[in-house]
């Protein structure tokens, strides 16, 4: 078993600090070796599905690989939802699945399935640990294989890998037997940091100038201060609007001064719902630049697919690239931060060779006045130098940016006006708005799938609070949203972790709390409408007679018993007055995990949200 025990040592040497395992017998050598290793933090979670998502939350927060360990049979299959999410969200997980030795597969032995390549196309790679490591070469092979697996998990784009470990009995050490870790040689990999050569940079800059109407769209991305700075400088240098969903983490950092000219835009779900063809035409890009992963905004996806820009550049250092908008023309193999920083630097260096723009423009003449919202916006004054753009080029790009900024400004004003109505029923859309306004500074905000992530994308998070947004949008499933937030709370105990979730996602994943590790920094806000309320908001199911029984799946549960079972402080709200009081107490800096249950009516929520959608369509003048 020494080669098996050495797996824990290899993981520790290669930077893995956290292990999540689920109890079992076949995995005993792995469990014991990980548990006894002094450099590893090991947690046990009985439910493998919850365990895997907790591991995902740990890896997502710490930005490094986490190991998962389970026994043989269907235990590993229960990891599959989290493994798929990790694959599409590019999160490194190293999954160790204990197995029967190969001669007993398909021989009707207990707790035995076909575990080789268990996750198929949803793992970056599968490795089979040698069943017999008595020969020196086999022992060397086993250590090399584990190093390769960990390196592969962390190579860009990161993702999950499986190491299947066949184990023969006896695999429990004798009573009092000391387990030792041998010195092991590991294989480390240093990632490459590519940059674009000068001639290619100049060619890209020239293409930017010629395009005129340039738009940057950010998909899901971790918070990155350097990227935010590079984007703002790029937006100012080339006078280009930057658009991103809430999960792109482009919102205003602490201490930053809001500037309409360079602040990324986030209200596309609001203004793209306006039935105004002139506006859509004014927003149409000639060159689309994208980076990051998935988008929440269906409105933006459909708009860009219809817009069909002449050029679409996607910036991604490595890995397969999706043609989400059916317009991809160029893949640029760089980290987004490097790409935008290099273009800004190149633009500055060429400023002396190109006539700079003088004065300023608000673009009102060229932007089709009849197609832009009639709201008051700051005058758009661009850098006097133009940073490498000629006067004519600066005027063209500024004119294109103007309707984007005006639409964003109108959308923010509209939302504020609509949600502050004095007379409105208690509903989850407005309740969600109030909850977001109370988020503590520095919070890691986890958004469950279904309506929670959609509400947040419409409403946005407060600027200047250093809120970082997480959501399982790789597969967009509801199955592990709570467990992922629990993993994040375990990973960063000093940071407030807030989960906003609906009742179906919450009750589906109650086993997230079925473990013995305190999460005093965790705050769960449950929006309970006693149904899958999203189906009342989607055209199709809401018109069907089967809506209530077969789509909404009504349930009478409350979370009070769950809170009691797992020792969570429990708060409730059924009116706006109760919500105001509850939020202050709920988010107070008091130690101890807490759960706030906001109870609303599904039909009322649907009616109010429909009122909002109709107001968007008619209020734009």
Which DSSP string do the residues of 16-54 spell out, in sequence order? --EEEE---STTHHHHHHHHH-TT-EEEE-SSHHHHHHH
Residues 6+ apart with CB under 8 A from 63: 222
Class of residue 38 by CB neighbours under 10 A (exposed 0-12, middle 13-18, buried 19+): exposed
Coil/strand/helix, residue 406: helix
**Among residues 228, 438, 409, which one has the least CA distance to residue 336?**
228
Fold of the domain spanning 428-619: Rossmann fold (3.40.50)
The two three-digit tokens of residue 503, written as one number: 């009742």
Q: How many CA atoms lie within 13 A of 462 on its CB side?
A: 18
- Confidence grade of residue 617 (pLDDT, cut at 50, 70, 90): confident
Tens digits of per-residue pLDDT, 43-98? 999 999 999 999 999 999 999 999 999 999 999 999 999 999 999 999 999 999 99
How far apart are alpha carbons 419 and 413 in whole angstroms?
A: 10
- Confidence grade of residue 347 (pLDDT, cut at 50, 70, 90): low
Q: How far is CA 99 from CA 76, 147, 169, 391, in A?
A: 10, 20, 11, 68
DSSP class of residue 484 equals H
Contact 349, 385 (CB under 8 A): no
Which of 174-178, 465-469, 561-565, 580-584 shows the lowest mean pLDDT across its residues? Answer: 174-178
The two three-digit tokens of residue 281, written as one number: 């035409």
Residue 248 phi, psi dihedral angles, 5° rounding: -80, -15
Checking if the pLDDT of 367 tops 50, the result is: no
pLDDT of residue 360: 32
Checking if the pLDDT of 392 tops 60, the result is: no
How far apart are alpha carbons 508 and 341 in whole angstroms?
A: 44
Cα 352–357–361 angle (5° rounding)? 160
pTM: 0.88
The two three-digit tokens of residue 588, written as one number: 């107070």
Checking if the pLDDT of 530 tops 80, the result is: yes
pLDDT of residue 389: 45
How far apart are alpha carbons 516 and 50 in whole angstroms?
A: 13
Tens digits of per-residue pLDDT, 231-267? 999 998 888 999 999 999 998 766 566 566 678 999 9
**Among residues 492, 620, 556, which one has the least CA distance to residue 61?**
492
Coil/strand/helix, residue 242: strand
Coil/strand/helix, residue 200: helix
The two three-digit tokens of residue 408, written as one number: 């964003």
Tens digits of per-residue pLDDT, 460-507? 998 888 999 999 999 999 999 999 999 999 999 999 999 999 999 999
Note the maximum CA span of the chain. 85
Look up the CATH architecture of domain 198-407. Answer: 3-Layer(aba) Sandwich (3.40)
How far apart are alpha carbons 437 and 264 in whole angstroms?
A: 19
Domain ranges of the chain: 2-166, 198-407, 428-619
Which of 120-124, 374-378, 431-435, 481-485 shows the lowest mean pLDDT across its residues? Answer: 374-378
How far apart are alpha carbons 536 and 610 in whole angstroms?
A: 10
DSSP class of residue 339 equals H
Look up the CATH architecture of domain 2-166. Answer: 3-Layer(aba) Sandwich (3.40)
**Among residues 241, 279, 287, which one has the least CA distance to residue 261?**
241
- How many helices and strands, by DSSP H and E, does the chain display? 20, 17
How far apart are alpha carbons 513 and 559 in whole angstroms?
A: 12
- Edge to edge, the sheet with strand 522-528 lists 468-471, 444-447, 497-502, 522-528, 594-599, 569-573
């Amino acid at each position: 078993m020494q080669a098996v025990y050495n797996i824990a040592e290899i993981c520790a040497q290669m930077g893995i600090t956290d292990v999540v395992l689920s109890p079992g017998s076949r995995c005993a050598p792995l469990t014991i070796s990980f548990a006894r290793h002094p450099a590893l933090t090991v947690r046990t979670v009985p439910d493998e599905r919850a365990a895997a998502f907790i591991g995902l939350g740990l890896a997502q927060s710490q930005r490094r690989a986490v190991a998962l360990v389970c026994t043989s049979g269907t235990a590993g299959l229960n990891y599959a939802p989290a493994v798929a999410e990790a694959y599409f969200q590019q999160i490194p997980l190293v999954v160790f699945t204990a197995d029967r030795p190969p001669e007993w597969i398909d021989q009707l032995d207990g707790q035995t399935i076909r575990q080789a390549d268990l996750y198929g196309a949803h793992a970056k790679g599968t490795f089979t640990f040698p069943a017999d490591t008595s020969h020196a070469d086999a022992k060397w092979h086993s250590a090399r294989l584990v190093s390769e697996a960990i390196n592969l998990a962390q190579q860009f784009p990161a993702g999950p890998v499986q190491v299947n470990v066949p184990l023969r009995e006896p695999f429990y050490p004798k009573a009092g037997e000391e387990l030792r870790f041998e010195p092991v040689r590991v294989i480390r990999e240093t990632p490459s940091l590519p940059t674009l050569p000068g001639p290619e940079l100049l060619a890209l800059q020239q293409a930017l100038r010629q395009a005129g109407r340039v738009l940057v769209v950010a998909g899901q991305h971790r918070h990155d201060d350097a990227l935010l700075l590079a984007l703002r400088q790029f937006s100012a240098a080339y006078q280009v609007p930057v658009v991103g969903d809430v999960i792109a983490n482009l919102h205003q950092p602490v201490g930053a001064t809001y500037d309409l000219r360079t602040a990324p835009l986030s209200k596309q779900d609001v203004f793209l719902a306006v039935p105004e063809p002139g506006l859509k035409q004014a927003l149409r890009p000639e060159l689309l630049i994208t980076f990051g992963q998935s988008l929440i905004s269906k409105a933006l996806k459909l708009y860009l697919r219809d817009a069909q820009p002449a050029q679409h550049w996607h910036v991604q250092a490595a890995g397969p690239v999706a043609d989400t908008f059916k317009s991809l023309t160029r893949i640029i193999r760089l980290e987004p931060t490097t790409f935008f920083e290099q273009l800004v630097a190149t633009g500055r260096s060429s400023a002396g060779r190109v006539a700079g723009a003088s004065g300023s423009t608000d673009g009102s003449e060229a932007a089709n006045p009849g197609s832009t919202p009639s709201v008051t916006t700051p005058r758009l004054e661009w850098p006097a130098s133009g940073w490498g753009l000629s006067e004519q080029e600066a005027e063209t790009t500024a004119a294109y940016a103007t309707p984007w900024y005006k639409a964003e400004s109108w959308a923010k004003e509209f939302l504020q006006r609509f949600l502050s109505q004095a007379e409105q029923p208690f509903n989850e859309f407005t309740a969600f708005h109030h909850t977001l306004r109370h988020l503590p500074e520095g919070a890691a905000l986890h958004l469950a799938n279904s309506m929670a992530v959609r509400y947040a994308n419409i409403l946005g998070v407060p600027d200047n609070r250093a809120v970082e947004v997480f959501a399982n949008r790789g597969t967009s499933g509801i199955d592990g949203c709570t467990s992922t937030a629990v993993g994040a709370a375990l990973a960063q105990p000093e940071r407030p972790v807030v989960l906003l979730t609906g009742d179906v996602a919450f009750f589906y994943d109650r086993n997230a709390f079925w473990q013995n590790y305190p999460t005093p920094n965790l705050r769960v806000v449950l929006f309970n409408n006693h149904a899958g309320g999203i189906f009342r908001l989607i055209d199709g199911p809401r018109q069907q007679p089967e809506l209530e029984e077969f789509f909404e799946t009504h349930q009478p549960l409350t979370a009070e018993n769950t809170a009691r079972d797992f020792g969570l402080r429990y708060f409730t709200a059924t009116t706006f007055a109760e919500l105001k009081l509850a939020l202050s107490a709920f988010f107070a800096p008091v130690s101890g995990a807490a759960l706030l249950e906001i109870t609303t009516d599904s039909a009322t929520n649907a009616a109010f949200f429909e009122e909002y959608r109709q107001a968007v369509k008619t209020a734009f003048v």
